[in-house]
Structure 1
Amino acid sequence: MDNPDIPPSRRRALIPVLTAGLVAVTIASLAFGPVALGPERIGAALLGHGDRVAATILFDLRLPRTIVGLIVGGMLGLAGAVLQGYLRNPLAEPSVLGASNAAALGAVGAIYFGLYVAHPVALPLLAILAALLALLALFALSGRSESPLSLILAGIAISTLAGAGISLALNLSPNPFAAMEIMTWLLGSIENRSMEHVWIALPCILLGAGLLLLDGRALDALSLGEDGARSLGVDLRRTRLRLLLGVAIGVGGAVAVSGAIGFVGLIVPHIVRPLTDRSPSAILLPSLLGGAVLLAAADILVRLTPTTNELKLGVVTAFLGVPVFLLHLLRERRTW
């Protein structure tokens, strides 16, 4: 159903505005930080004529961090929009199906057993593997049921179990330094990321996002209910398979390099939904772009906040997310 409060011209302008915002936060992310880089220094560094300090800051520190922030934010925003449409639940986000907590448990395992010291790739690989194992467990627990309720209940069980595993690792941590490392990672951050992290996460996020974007028409049909979707020719089992694979692979790859960052997948769809016709398919691409803009902007705020130790990104998104979510909840509670 169209939203009469939003003119069609404004709905058509949403994607261009978000794209312009994406370009703006990308440039700002490359320019701002403890050492500011002006347009001249950035341009010279990109052309290969800049000074060595500017080139090091730009290519070794800020460019990988910016890319990670954009792709992780985009994946979380898209996953939240898809899950809210599929489960027909405005509170749905990636953690609902246990993917986020399972990926976090895999990464915590790499830290706990010291595998990430042997090779940095061990941490993201274990996170992605744990997300995929959570997917298999989700299928096993929900069985052949096509009901979203069965997926939610199975996801809660997996998420709770993964959370208990994380708590156990903290409780049995062999030394306080290991516990501190685990807690630091769980707070979420994209500080000190390299292009190696980009190449680890990017294939997973591209594959996951591609699978999720395929289900736009199916999500619209599901808004009529499962029987209505079947009557329109939607194969619910294939739709569920693509959705779960997309969430597990995409979110697993994102969490693997960023740690646990919450609220992005929850609040971004609520922000863009009033600016669309409110159909599930209409908010997918805007949520992807909006998630990228939000996380990159939050990371800029992290860098510019004067603190002894850099704030963790997950903390900032929580402080930003709760007021925004409550505001939109009060505004939109009658439209769901």
Structure 2
Amino acid sequence: MSTSPPYAALVGALAALMLAAFVASVTIGYVVIDVGGALADLLAGGTSLGALVLMELRLPRAIMGALVGFSLGLAGAAMQGLLRNPLADAGVIGVSGAAAFGAVMAFYSGLSASFGLALPIGGILGAGVAVALLYALAGRGSATMTLILAGVAINSLAGALTALALNLSPNPYAATEVMFWLMGSLADRSMTHIQLAAPLLISGWLLILVSAPALDALSLGEDTATSLGFDMGRVRLLLIVGTALSVGASVAVAGAIGFIGLVVPHLLRPLVGGRPGRLLLVSGRLDAAVADYDQAIQLDPNNAQAWHN
């Protein structure tokens, strides 16, 4: 007899947790503000200090945390299901490394200083190049092992090129800025970043979620999934492009934050009975909660403890 909680109850509980983390991210900050009053002023078109802090700092940070966290959790669970490997994440197919290299080149070339959106656009282009290289090396109908090998090669190349760009940087301050960005952060993000990344993120989510039934079938083996009517070449394409869109846009606007996409699916897998298709949505929601709450804790640990109490 299964001891896993009902799936609907688990999804609902994680949705409540995600909402609580979002509220914490909006509420907590370096400066204490009346969030309710600031929100009312913002809706009325006011320009008080609280409304400006909420609109320019708190809301973009919280929304970006939810979007990026959900994307990383969803993509991590998708890659673990596709490759049938609990140690897999988006880095296995080279997307995150290539997106990071694209953003680093925006730093290195100086475009990020003259054009505010050069950094996220460079990251998105890097992810797109990674997918093109992946299929150029492995082919559309390639086996899973071939995809893994091609992805590892792309990731290694992107990492080496990123290190080379850092070593050749003529300005040590620029190199420090790149290193800080590579650590990942949601600070100083604006609604413009959200408008740029959100369409790509949502498109990636849809491509991954529509493949959930195929992931459940794939857990029984590729031959079984094929016999059940799933075109595995199409399934791989949907999952890889969806992961590239989700993770590429996430890395482009928030830096290389990858560990939660690897760890969270492990924590939730026993709660969904080991079904990869069901793991997608719950991993995304818990990752979104983790990303938002982590940013809140970093900004003001004392206020975070007070919010807990």
TM bracket (short chain): over 0.9
Equivalent pair of 1:146/1:236 in contact (CA under 8 Å): no
Taking a change above 3 Å as real, the CA distance of residues 188 and 4 of structure 1, as seen in their structure-2 partners, is same
Which residue identity lines up with residue 4 of structure 1 in the other structure? S
- What is the match of residue 287 of structure 1? 283
Describe how 1:194-205 pairs up with structure 2 within 5 A: 194-205=190-201
The number of aligned residues is: 302
Residue 282 of structure 1: CA displacement?
A: 0.8
Q: 1:250-329 residue pairs with structure 2 within 5 A?
A: 250-305=246-301
**Matched residues in 2 for 1:186 and 1:85: separation?**
27
Structure 2: state its 5+ residue gaps: 303-309
- The residue type equivalent to 1:6 in the other structure is S
Q: TM-score, normalised by structure 1?
A: 0.86
Any gaps of 5 or more consecutive residues in structure 1?
307-336
- Which residue of structure 2 lines up, in the alignment, with residue 158 of structure 1? 154
Residue in 1 aligned with 2:202? 206
The CA deviation at 1:145 is: 4.5
Shift of 1:144: 4.5
Name the amino acid aligned to 2:202.
L
CA contact (8 A) 2:34 2:50 kept: no
Match of 2:3 in 1: 5
Q: In the aligned structure 1, how far is the partner of 2:111 from the partner of 2:140? A: 37
1:187 matches 2:183: yes
Per the alignment, do residues 257 and 49 of structure 1 end up closer, same or farther by CA in structure 2, a change over 3 Å counting?
A: closer
Give CA-to-partner distance per residue, 1:272-299, whole Å, 9 cap, x none.
Answer: 2122122111111111111111111111
Residue pair 2:204, 2:246 contacting (<8 A) in 1 also: yes
Q: 1:49 to 1:178 in 2, by over 3 A?
A: closer
Given that 1:41 and 1:50 are in contact with CA atoms closer than 8 Å, whether structure 2 keeps it comes out as: no
1:72–1:292 Cα contact (<8 Å) kept? yes
Counterpart contact for 2:38–2:48, Cα < 8 Å:
no
Q: Which of 124, 132, 135 lines up with 1:139 in the alignment?
A: 135
Matched to 1:112, the amino acid is Y
Tell me, in whole angstroms, the C-alpha distance in 2 between the residues paired with 1:7 and 1:163: 41
C-alpha separation in 1, matches of 2:217 and 2:76: 18
One-letter code aligned to 2:194: V
| Aligned twin of 1:318 | none
Provide TM-score, normalisation by structure 2. Answer: 0.94
CA distance, structure 1, for counterparts of residue 5 and residue 129 of structure 2: 45
- Any idea what the Cα deviations from partners look like across 1:27-82, whole Å, max 9, x if unmatched? 11111111123454344334438771100110111111111111000000000010
Aligned match of 1:52: 48
Q: CA deviation at 1:251?
A: 1.0
Q: Secondary structure at the match of 2:248?
A: helix
Q: Alignment identity in percent? A: 48
